[in-house]
Amino acid sequence: MLRNAVRWRSRSLLFILWCLLLFSVTSSKTSTSTVYFRQQSGGSIFAIDGRDGSETEIEGSSEYARFVGLAIHRRHGRIFWSDGRAVKSANATDGSDVEVVVGALARVVWVGTNFGQSQADVQMLTVKGTRCDSIISWSPERVECIVGLPLRFSQTQLPFVSEDDCSIQTNHGPMTGIALNYNEMFALGTSSPIVERVDIYANFVLPHALAIDDREGEDWLYWSNSEDGTIYRSSLRSNVIEVLQRRCWSVRGLALNIFQDAGKERVSLMYSLESKAQVLLSGLRSPRGLAMDSTNQILFFNEKTGRIFQVRLGKTMTARQKASILPDDASIVSPGVGIRRIATLASMTRLDGIAVDSKYLYWCETNTNTVARALRRDFQRQVVVGGTANSMLSWPRGIALGSDDGDINDLKHSFYYSEYTGRVSRGSSQTVIVNEYNLFVSIAHSLFNSHHSKQPKHQKMVSFSKTSLAILFAISATSTDADVSGNLRHESRTLQAKYTSTSQYAASMLASVNAQRAAQGLPALCMNAKLMAASMRHSTDMAVNNFMSHTGSDGSTMSMRVTAAGYKWTRVAENVAAGQSSVAAVMTSWMNSPGHRANILGDYTMFGTAYAYNIGSTYKHYWTQNFGKGSTEACSYEDVEYVDAPTPTLNSTTDLTDNSTVVLPNE
């Protein structure tokens, strides 16, 4: 069934950016809405009631898993991962003995007297039961330290460190908290420490990239913290923590280069970010993972956009090598090193983690749900995990190897990879080592159920006798109040997903749309990441919840979803369809429908599309196209199937519009 209904409405939109994009809409009708958002600083999901602005934390949402970094301590046989809120570790064999390594940072300052004649007189500092071994400064009247707390905290626990959680002990005795009668104790001339006040600066961490130095006698964990833009290293033998580099935001890759220099073993840290440190390479396009072959002094890195490079440290490029650089890589500045591209994948692949041993180079392809590798002698891509509809791999992010010996890793399948949704697995058999995925799913379901329960049951239920149909919805912006209806049905015998990753259809869909526009003398559209995210949200929603409509299962409209994705539009439209198993089939259906054709040929500049598949649903295949125009938006394509920052989910008891094309009056 195709139904076009058009209504023009004046809207007043107010956009408020506070960690995430929240939006409210006022119209001639009374509208009550609830906005769900996830605070990056704490990780919990909150609901804002549109009637009074009150906030409610969704119980259990702070445990939402999003695995991003992965490393392995080979001597101890433990894996380490970052879940966006803490760094954890577990037994690498079976995932047992899970520990939180660091979940918060606390900088504590004791002010008072009798803190010793030298720093050596301070025997122990303790913060919330954890020994604070890293003393930043000391004097007889002031002691400051920093400590990583091996605990996870929620927003309801703020502040999570109090004066009573802090203690100091010298060779003359201990004191916990502060002395309420400080002046009296000071006058008595006691020799034990007397604390007048305790200044506490404590924050949650947002860890991302990880690296481990597991040499005998070292045992250091290197990690980036997106909360304060700092790279730290934490001792795995004590509670010592050190600041290595500040003002390093969005670090996506860390690697250690352990090499011999004048007979001494030295370590240098490399990370995928330009900063005040020595710049090894610049002019890169979204660098992600790093991997180091210290023996041969070769650095491997990848870019999110599908390129993998090899860098020989200390080897300058010859004139011939410079002449052979690909035009796309001409912007890369590489003083004192030799660089060459060794692999080029589709730009939508979205590369992330990377690791290297003596024989293979491994990497993760997030948008194709694939873990791949290549022999270092020819760098020909081999899929080792995923890449199929039934691979059960969800957005692989990090990869770590159990050995530097490629034959051992090959024989024992000792390569580990993390999935964003909360799993760490080993080998091509996908042996699960750590599993928080079920927790993620249960929270997602509970969020939907609590959200959906607030919706009035005003939508009609429609049943179809055929099990494989194709239907399309679209609404055009070029007419006034009007209804156009008709029936479009499409038989599909496809019993499996036609596409298993965005990269397999997105470019083809864009090319098909632009071909239709070119035939009419219209300018081409470009991809936009936000429109892609809005499309993916709706296609997935339709597939999972077995329906086909412009209204989401949560009550969201097209304009709400696009706005929630962060797209600031002046004009926006949507096409949806179900049942067609290919780009060609769905484009034929849309172009044969006046409403959908009008959107494809409309006055827009940017485009997003998504496909989702559910074998247990009525239509199996679900499609969405979003078209947009906005003066502040630009062509982009980033993290389509993986969004680092959480996207708010909107729930409205009143449809904001029945029109899939909305135009703001300020255009």
Give the CATH number, domain containing residue 158: 2.60.40
Provide the pLDDT confidence category of residue 121 given band limits of 50, 70 and 90: very high
Both 474 and 487 in one domain: the answer is yes
Domain assignment present for 440: no
Annotate 115-139 with b (16+ C-beta within 10 A) or e (fewer).
bbeeeebbeebbbbebebebeeebe
Domain assignment present for 196: yes
**CATH code assigned at 414:** 2.120.10.30
Provide the pLDDT confidence category of residue 25 given band limits of 50, 70 and 90: very low
**At residue 349, does pLDDT exceed 60?**
yes
Which residues, 6+ apart, have CB-to-CB distance to 545 below 8 Å?
553
Q: Which residue has the higher pLDDT, 454 or 507?
A: 507
Among the ranges given (246-250, 380-384, 482-486, 497-501), the one the predictor scored with the smallest mean pLDDT: 482-486
pLDDT above 90 as % of the chain: 38
Looking at the 3D structure of the chain, how many domains does it have?
3
**At residue 627, does pLDDT exceed 80?**
yes
Both 8 and 144 in one domain: the answer is no
- Specify the pLDDT at position 57: 62
Which of 412, 435, 458 is where one domain is finished? 435
Mean pLDDT (whole number) for 615-628: 91
Both 478 and 625 in one domain: the answer is yes
Question: What is the C-alpha to C-alpha distance for residues 578 and 599, in angstroms, rounded to an integer?
Answer: 17
- Specify the pLDDT at position 449: 44
Both 476 and 359 in one domain: the answer is no
**CATH code assigned at 464:** 3.40.33.10
**At residue 236, does pLDDT exceed 80?**
yes
Question: What is the tens place of the pLDDT at every residue in 559-589?
Answer: 889 998 889 998 899 999 999 989 999 999 9
Q: Which of the given ranges, 154-158, 228-232, 472-476, 641-645, has the highest pLDDT on average?
A: 228-232
Which of 435, 455, 483 is where one domain is finished? 435
Both 431 and 464 in one domain: the answer is no
Q: Largest alpha-carbon pair distance within the chain?
A: 93
Domain assignment present for 533: yes
Both 23 and 144 in one domain: the answer is no
pTM of the model: 0.59
Residue 553 has which token pair?
A: 């299962």
Alpha carbon distances (Å) from 371 to 245, 361, 368: 31, 11, 9
Among residues 4, 31, 13, 6, the alpha carbon closest in space to that of 570 is found at 13
**At residue 601, does pLDDT exceed 80?**
yes
Both 82 and 221 in one domain: the answer is yes
Mean pLDDT of the residues in the chain: 76
**At residue 344, does pLDDT exceed 70?**
yes
- Specify the pLDDT at position 135: 95
Provide the pLDDT confidence category of residue 445 given band limits of 50, 70 and 90: very low
Q: Is 542 left (phi over 0), alpha (psi -120 to 50) or beta?
A: alpha
Q: Which residue has the higher pLDDT, 567 or 67?
A: 567
Domain assignment present for 577: yes
Q: Which residue has the higher pLDDT, 436 or 380?
A: 380
Residue 315 has which token pair?
A: 């080897």
- Beta bridge partners of residue 337, listed in sequence order: 313
Both 161 and 237 in one domain: the answer is no
Mean pLDDT (whole number) for 600-613: 93
**At residue 466, does pLDDT exceed 70?**
no
Domain assignment present for 363: yes
Among the ranges given (6-10, 89-93, 104-108), the one the predictor scored with the smallest mean pLDDT: 6-10
- Specify the pLDDT at position 28: 31
**At residue 160, does pLDDT exceed 50?**
yes
Domain assignment present for 117: yes
**At residue 535, does pLDDT exceed 90?**
yes
Q: What is the DSSP letter of 441?
A: H
- Specify the pLDDT at position 10: 28
Both 76 and 149 in one domain: the answer is no
Among the ranges given (7-11, 146-150, 230-234), the one the predictor scored with the smallest mean pLDDT: 7-11
Residue 426 has which token pair?
A: 């080993």
Domain assignment present for 64: no
Structural domain of residue 194, as residue ranges? Answer: 104-204
**At residue 441, does pLDDT exceed 50?**
no
Alpha carbon distances (Å) from 285 to 305, 476, 531, 595: 8, 38, 21, 39
- Specify the pLDDT at position 417: 94
Cβ pair 4, 475 in contact under 8 A: yes
Question: What is the C-alpha to C-alpha distance for residues 212 and 214, in angstroms, rounded to an integer?
Answer: 6
Provide the pLDDT confidence category of residue 357 given band limits of 50, 70 and 90: very high
**At residue 427, does pLDDT exceed 80?**
yes
Mean pLDDT (whole number) for 273-299: 75
Mean pLDDT (whole number) for 592-602: 91
Residue 189 has which token pair?
A: 């001339």
Query: Please, what is the Cα angle at 66 between 63 and 70, to 5 degrees?
Result: 120
Q: Is the dihedral of CA 499, 502, 507, 509 positive or negative?
A: positive
Both 187 and 295 in one domain: the answer is no
Both 75 and 125 in one domain: the answer is no
Alpha carbon distances (Å) from 611 to 103, 505, 646: 37, 8, 21
Mean pLDDT (whole number) for 331-347: 80
Mean pLDDT (whole number) for 125-150: 95
Provide the pLDDT confidence category of residue 476 given band limits of 50, 70 and 90: very low
Cβ pair 270, 354 in contact under 8 A: no
| Distance spanning both ends of the chain, measured CA to CA | 32
- Specify the pLDDT at position 649: 29
- Specify the pLDDT at position 637: 54
Question: What is the tens place of the pLDDT at every residue in 196-218?
Answer: 999 999 888 889 999 999 999 89
Which of 405, 435, 465 is where one domain is finished? 435
Among residues 286, 223, 143, the alpha carbon closest in space to that of 644 is found at 286
Domain assignment present for 82: yes
**At residue 660, does pLDDT exceed 80?**
no
- Specify the pLDDT at position 409: 93
Both 133 and 85 in one domain: the answer is no
Question: What is the C-alpha to C-alpha distance for residues 49 and 33, in angstroms, rounded to an integer?
Answer: 7
- Specify the pLDDT at position 2: 38
